[in-house]
């Protein structure tokens, strides 16, 4: 090989080495923090002005600063059942639904037995849904089982209260005479003795006002009743709550609890949900300034619901050292 050819070969080898070396150096550079893989999110809040809608407003306010590259749109709907149906159909990305309907979506139960999207939990809606039944303090009704054959307001047809009430009564093997009244009409009917009891899942102002003029009591579950409900309804937990904080003159009672959740569609990317939930817990005080019940928000609370948490939540919980039961980790 002559001198000229030798120089050409040497130059070529140096060029190849430089390209390979630069590639290695480039690969060794630390990766930049990934940006959210989602830029537009439709959040289904429920009835305008309701708890889910107000919570959505507060969450989005946090995100405006924490995730400026993402545009959140809050949508009012016909309620939490409507939210679940819309998410199942693929409409919307996140929203507020009851654990009852989230579990049915995961299990493919009616009305979610057609092909559709599933959801995973992200955050709890506070306060929890305490299902409770109010009766006059001097009533001979002292437990849910005593409601057999009684006139019980279960709110309006299709409401969460009606759905939950009838499921609980069925689990206990009792039949009531359901009466479909608004909170306002139910409070009046209870005061006049036109119904025997009023079931509710909210601390409605109408019952708070009634308790100021008529002494009431909240029915407490017996241990046997609590066990029957837990066996029949996997989405229900049992807890004791001091109802004296809500209704003058009442006391602590053991009642069924159903969690209402902020959920994300299963196909919402893990990195986005991770950054979303991280931002919420790192700005909890600011969240509580817009939505007061959020002052009690803790990561462990969402684990009380029987709904698997989104992989993005799993990633964040592992980062902060919160243990997640295996049954709540998505398959």
Going from the first residue of the chain to its last (331 residues), give the mean pLDDT of each consecutive group of 10, the final group possibly shorter.
45 41 41 63 90 94 96 93 94 94 93 95 93 97 98 89 94 98 95 97 92 97 97 91 96 95 96 97 97 94 93 97 95 83
Fold category of 40-127+260-328 in CATH: D-Maltodextrin-Binding Protein; domain 2 (3.40.190)
- DSSP structure class, residue 309: B
- DSSP structure class, residue 156: S
Tell me how far apart the alpha carbons of residues 236 and 218 are, in angstroms, rounded to a whole number. 18
Assigned token pair, 248: 């003058």
Give the pLDDT confidence of 287-319 residue by residue, as tens digits: 999 999 999 999 999 998 989 999 999 999 999
Q: How remote is the C-alpha of 282 from its chain's centroid?
A: 19
Q: Which long-range contacts (CB under 8 A, 24 or more apart) does 168-172 make?
A: 168/131, 168/144, 168/229, 168/233, 168/236, 168/256, 169/144, 170/232, 171/228, 171/229, 171/231, 171/232, 171/233, 172/144, 172/145, 172/225, 172/228, 172/229
Q: Annotate 293-320 with b (16+ C-beta within 10 A) or e (fewer).
A: bbeebebeebbebbbbbbbbbbbbbeee
Q: Which class in CATH covers the domain with range 129-258?
A: alpha beta
Nearest to 310, CA basis, from 260, 271, 257: 271
The whole model's pTM is what? 0.74
- Please, which residues have CB within 8 angstroms of residue 288's CB and are 6 or more apart in sequence? 294, 295, 297
The residues spanned by each domain of the chain are: 40-127+260-328, 129-258
């Amino acid at each position: 090989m002559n001198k000229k050819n030798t120089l050409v070969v040497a130059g070529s080898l140096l060029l190849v080495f430089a390209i390979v070396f630069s590639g290695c150096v480039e690969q060794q550079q630390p990766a930049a923090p990934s940006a959210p893989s989602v830029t537009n999110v439709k959040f289904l809040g429920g009835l305008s002005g309701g708890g889910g809608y107000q919570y959505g407003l507060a969450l989005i306010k946090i995100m405006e600063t924490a995730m400026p590259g993402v545009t959140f749109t809050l949508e009012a709907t016909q309620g939490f059942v409507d939210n679940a149906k819309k998410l199942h159909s693929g409409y919307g990305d996140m929203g507020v639904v009851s654990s009852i309907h989230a579990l049915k979506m995961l299990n493919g139960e009616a009305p979610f037995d057609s092909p559709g999207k599933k959801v995973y939990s992200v955050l709890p809606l506070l306060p929890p849904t305490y299902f409770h039944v109010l009766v006059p303090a001097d009533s001979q009704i002292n437990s849910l089982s005593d409601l057999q054959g009684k006139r019980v307001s279960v709110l309006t047809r299709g409401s969460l209260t009606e759905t939950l009430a009838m499921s609980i009564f069925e689990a206990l093997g009792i039949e009531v005479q359901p009466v479909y009244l608004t909170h306002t009409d139910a409070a009046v009917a209870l005061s006049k003795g036109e119904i025997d009891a009023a079931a509710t899942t909210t601390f409605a102002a109408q019952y708070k006002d009634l308790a100021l003029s008529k002494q009431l009591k909240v029915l407490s579950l017996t241990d046997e009743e609590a066990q029957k409900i837990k066996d029949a309804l996997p989405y229900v937990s049992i807890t004791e709550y001091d109802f004296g904080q809500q209704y003058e003159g009442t006391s602590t009672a053991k009642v069924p609890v159903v969690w209402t959740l902020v959920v994300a569609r299963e196909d919402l990317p893990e990195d986005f949900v991770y950054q979303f939930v991280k931002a919420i817990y790192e700005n909890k005080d600011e969240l509580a300034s817009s939505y007061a019940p959020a002052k009690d928000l803790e990561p462990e609370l969402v684990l009380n619901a029987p709904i698997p948490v989104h992989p993005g939540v799993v990633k964040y919980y592992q980062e902060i050292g919160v243990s997640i039961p295996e049954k709540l980790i998505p398959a």
